[in-house]
Amino acid sequence: ARKDLFYRAGFSALCGSPLRPGHVPQVTATVVERLDAAGGIDIGRLAMAELAMSPTGFNTHESHPANPWNPAHVPGGSSSGSAVAVAAGYVPLALGTDTGGSIRHPAAMCGLTGLKPTYGRVSRAGAWPLSWSLDHVGPLAHSARDCAIALELLAGHDPHDTTAARPGWQRPALTGDLTGLRVARPGGYYDAALTPTVRAALDTAAAELAAAGATLVDTACPDMATINALAHVTLAVEAATQLRRAFVDAGDKVGRQVRDRLEPGLFYAATDYADALRLRAPQRAAWLAAAMADADAVLIPAISREVPTIAETTQAPPADIAAVIGAVTHTTRGINYLGLPALVAPCGQDAAGLPIAFQLVGRPWDEATILNIADAYQRRTGWHTRRPPSCP
């Protein structure tokens, strides 16, 4: 099944918004065509956050998807329906997109494995663009092995997307042996917001990786304030450009949360946006040098806190809602700006029975390493095999 921004010719694609009533694409997304060609059976489109703009799954125009582990809690977003469909057992695989964490947030909150490939690894042709230099397409599934199978089908050159210029990707042997691999754990920024429960789960996951043969090394963290600011400018300007007509005549067709996040993009100077694009490569190099150093991958939290409730993200004062959203995106949004591959996988549960997840970040084009590390962890643990009690 697919997030409701992947086009299939002759079928609606509404992007979780009333801005596009009755929109029926005349083309099919490249990734959908590739799954079709592999024998996949597409059962339909899935709910999503309005215009892919909420990390919790909030959509002011539609009912809020419920987390299968506890319906009082958010499922994550913006690929909310994608995670719910897999976690609830409707499909073994769903397609999502990730602009600031929108594959990784719902995968982490629903106890799944979610993969955001390197920018340009997977074609985005036929997927509605929110931010053309930050959007990534990837799978949500139960295991790293399933994500590897999916990536092999999805990846590769596409003449309809000039950023997808590389040839296809071949699934590596997933051996379960991490001997010789070095996994970095950067302190500072990524540790600062951790709750005790999430920290304990992350420490236990690190110990499992060490038992599988990996060497854990402590590293530093670069200036994330700069990276996050540049990511914000990029997203705000590109999304506002894509949706600028919505501010002219949309009326109440754009929810308040989405409008508040989009409007700054109408007022940034062109030089700010140019700087954000120009500085991406040096910022990526600085992050890799500091956070990864001489290691093969980086281990950081997927989300720094426990899964929030729907009430926390819809009924609280605006400042409190903003704080929750900030906490949810704390460890993910900068990785999109850097264009690096990242994977989340479940590694525990909190007191309310909601999943906890870790995040692995790799070097550019090295999805193989983070998939192998996650698979080795999943061979030794059973978190990815658990299913919500209400969804046998």
Rg of the chain over Cα atoms, rounded to whole angstroms, equals 19
Active-site residue identified among 78, 82, 143, 304? 78
Q: Which of 3, 17, 79, 80 is catalytic?
A: 3
Partnered with residue 140 across adjacent β-strands are 94, 114
Q: Which DSSP symbol is given to 51?
A: G
The reply to whether 63 belongs to the active site is no
CA distance 75 to 250: 28
Triad 84, 89, 94: Cα angle to 5° = 55
Q: Please choose, from the candidates 101, 136, 117, 138, the residue with its C-alpha nearest in 3D space to the C-alpha of residue 330.
A: 101
Verify whether residue 102 is a known catalytic residue: yes
Cα–Cα distance list, 282 to 77, 222, 264, 277 (Å): 29, 12, 25, 10
Instruction: Please give the Cα distance from 308 to 108 (Å, whole number).
Output: 12
Check if 253 is active-site. no
Query: 17, 54, 80, 102: which is the annotated catalytic residue?
Result: 102
- Is the bond preceding residue 54 a cis peptide, omega within 30 degrees? no
For residue 103, give both structure tokens: 């594959």
Residues designated catalytic: 3, 78, 102
